């Protein structure tokens, strides 16, 4: 196996996730060398970025040593797909023996007794967990700031947010702290931070990736998917997440570089939030859209204007479904005051909302999904910017300006203004979860200030491979 000299360590940084996987599987690199490299990057960069809440270096090195022993004892053909690959889990995911904070100071942070479904799936595929990444409280917001740890900052500009709720994971990938990472997406939580941090972020369609039981997600909004620096790396992680019987022949990675046939792509700026919030689309977002459109047309796809009409009852219904889980969260009454203002407000409203009202909201969202998918049906893919605005400054949504310091106890916060700003920032995200469709954020543009901007493509059911192929083709262009 390779040595762990500084020269070798710097070589690891230049590898894509696919190249790193191949080096680990082939014995050119040990799992301990890989884990040691990424842990050293975390140690040097996390103090500035706040991407990690918890770093589990000792556990990681022990798991890496066990992986190296398995490699020495066995045949390459017997190794799991992601043998020895370091990554991290967002701190909404249970990892055995590690506290799950859910980004909340109101919870007791006890070690999880066992792995959650996502961690169990990826550990079975051979990954080495380096720790837990920063999230908003209960994953509720489009930014990753809470009362537990410093905010997750954008590697492209430390004064700006990395997005949410998979913000810590996106920052970690973009900063080279991990080669790729799984995120979870219930209303944009993979695509928003991918757009903010210049990554490929894929939200698979409903049911493709096993999610385990979740009593707090009655609308079945949440799905796990990859955050990666390129389409091939995202395809590799998706191969690890999806059961064999649901994958295309040859897997996602084996097919990702095959160009998709000419597609009918419908461009729209319509949003189901527009009836409530009259948001403005920044020039940088439109620049990204125009760049993406030009690239798609040059690749041979037919791009036209798609007009989509959304039911104006959507915002109220989605909010009821989105916040229902936090209403039932087990929080001791004496610890309620430790919740962030937004969480506290939406928890109170959820508890006051009758079960019948929630049922009405869920029924409406099912009809909304049917109607929206019908409007998308003339097109193979729907195109829009990932975000309506450039990545926002730290503290911008809450107007607290805390910059990583503890939130001032005298500040009550304005939950409705916070929520409004989030919906204006990411107005094209949540309806995709309601529809259960796959969608991908692809970086295509860099602003004059060096901030990445992306486009979102929404595909038909079962089109995850096609979306990854489009992303790979845009990278090549």
Query: How many C-beta atoms lie closer than 10 Å to residue 373's C-beta?
Result: 15
160 contact partners, CB below 8 Å, separation of at least 6: 153, 154, 196, 390, 391, 392, 393, 394, 451
What does the DSSP 8-state code read for residue 108?
-
Res 406: pLDDT:
41
Classify residue 192: in a domain, yes or no: yes
Segment 220-229, tens digit of pLDDT: 999 999 999 9
What does the DSSP 8-state code read for residue 450?
S
Classify residue 402: in a domain, yes or no: yes
Mean pLDDT of 453-470: 98
Res 403: pLDDT:
44
Catalytic residue, chosen from 30, 90, 144, 247, is 90
Percent of the chain at pLDDT above 70? 94
Query: Domain with 325 in it: what CATH number?
Result: 3.90.1300.10
Res 74: pLDDT:
84
pLDDT of 385 > 50? The answer is: yes
Classify residue 168: in a domain, yes or no: yes
Classify residue 431: in a domain, yes or no: yes
User: Is residue 203 annotated as part of the catalytic site, yes or no?
Assistant: no
Res 213: pLDDT:
60
Segment 278-313, tens digit of pLDDT: 899 999 999 999 999 999 999 999 999 999 999 999
Classify residue 114: in a domain, yes or no: yes
Segment 126-163, tens digit of pLDDT: 999 999 999 999 999 999 999 999 999 999 999 999 99
How many separate domains does the chain show?
Answer: 1
Identify the domain containing residue 419 by its residue range. 6-476
Q: Indicate the Cα dihedral angle 399, 402, 408, 411, nearest 10°.
A: 0
- CA 393 to chain centroid, in Å, comes to 19
Res 75: pLDDT:
73
What CA–CA distances, in Å, run from 367 to 162, 360, 361, 375, 434?
33, 11, 10, 13, 10
pLDDT of 4 > 70? The answer is: no
Rounded Cα distance, 428 and 382, in Å: 11
Contact 232, 472 (CB under 8 A): yes
Classify residue 173: in a domain, yes or no: yes
Res 401: pLDDT:
42
Catalytic residue, chosen from 152, 189, 211, 271, is 189
Res 215: pLDDT:
67
Classify residue 359: in a domain, yes or no: yes
List residues bridging with 441 in a β-sheet: 201, 456
Classify residue 1: in a domain, yes or no: no
User: Is residue 165 annotated as part of the catalytic site, yes or no?
Assistant: yes
Catalytic residue, chosen from 144, 165, 166, 430, is 165
């Amino acid at each position: 196996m390779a040595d762990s000299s500084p020269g070798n360590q710097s070589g690891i940084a230049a590898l894509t996730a696919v190249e790193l996987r191949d080096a680990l599987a082939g014995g050119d690199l040990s799992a301990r060398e890989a884990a040691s490299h990424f842990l050293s990057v975390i140690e040097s960069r996390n103090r500035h970025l706040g991407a990690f809440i918890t770093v589990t270096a000792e556990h990681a090195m022990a798991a890496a040593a066990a992986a190296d022993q398995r490699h020495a004892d066995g045949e390459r053909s017997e190794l799991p797909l992601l043998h020895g690959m370091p990554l991290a889990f967002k701190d909404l995911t249970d990892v055995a023996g590690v506290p799950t904070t859910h980004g909340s100071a109101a919870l007791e942070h006890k070690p999880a007794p066992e792995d959650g479904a996502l961690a169990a799936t990826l550990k079975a595929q051979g990954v080495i967990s380096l720790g837990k990444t920063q999230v908003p409280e209960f994953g509720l917001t489009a930014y990753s700031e809470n009362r537990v740890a410093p905010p997750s900052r954008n590697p492209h500009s430390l004064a700006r947010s990395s997005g949410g709720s998979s913000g810590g994971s996106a920052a970690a990938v973009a900063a080279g702290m991990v080669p790729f990472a799984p995120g979870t997406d219930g209303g944009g939580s993979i695509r928003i931070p991918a757009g903010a941090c210049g990554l490929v972020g894929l939200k698979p369609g409903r049911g493709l990736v096993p999610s385990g039981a979740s009593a707090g997600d009655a609308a079945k909004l949440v799905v796990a998917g990859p955050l990666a620096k390129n389409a091939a790396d995202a395809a590799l992680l998706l191969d690890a997440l999806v059961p064999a019987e649901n994958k295309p022949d040859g897997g996602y990675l084996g097919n990702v570089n095959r160009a998709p046939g000419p597609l009918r792509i419908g461009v729209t700026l319509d949003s189901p939030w527009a009836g409530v919030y009259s948001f403005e689309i920044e020039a940088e977002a439109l620049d990204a859209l125009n760049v993406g459109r030009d690239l798609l047309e040059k690749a041979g796809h037919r791009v036209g204007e798609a007009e989509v009409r959304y039911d104006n009852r959507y915002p109220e219904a989605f909010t009821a479904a989105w916040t229902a889980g936090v209403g039932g969260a087990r929080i001791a009454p004496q610890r309620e005051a430790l919740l962030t203002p937004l969480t506290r407000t939406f928890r109170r409203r959820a508890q006051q909302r009758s079960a019948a009202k929630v049922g009405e909201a869920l029924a409406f969202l099912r009809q909304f999904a049917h109607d929206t998918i019908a409007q998308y049906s003339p097109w193979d893919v729907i195109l829009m910017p990932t975000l309506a605005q450039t990545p926002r400054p730290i503290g911008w949504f809450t107007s607290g300006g805390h910059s990583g310091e503890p939130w001032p106890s005298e500040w009550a916060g304005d939950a409705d203004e916070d929520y409004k700003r989030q919906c204006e920032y990411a107005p094209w995200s949540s309806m995709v979860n309601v529809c259960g469709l796959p969608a991908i954020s692809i970086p295509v543009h860099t602003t004059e200030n060096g901030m990445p901007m992306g486009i979102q493509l929404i595909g038909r059911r079962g089109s995850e491979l096609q979306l990854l192929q489009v992303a790979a083709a845009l990278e090549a262009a």
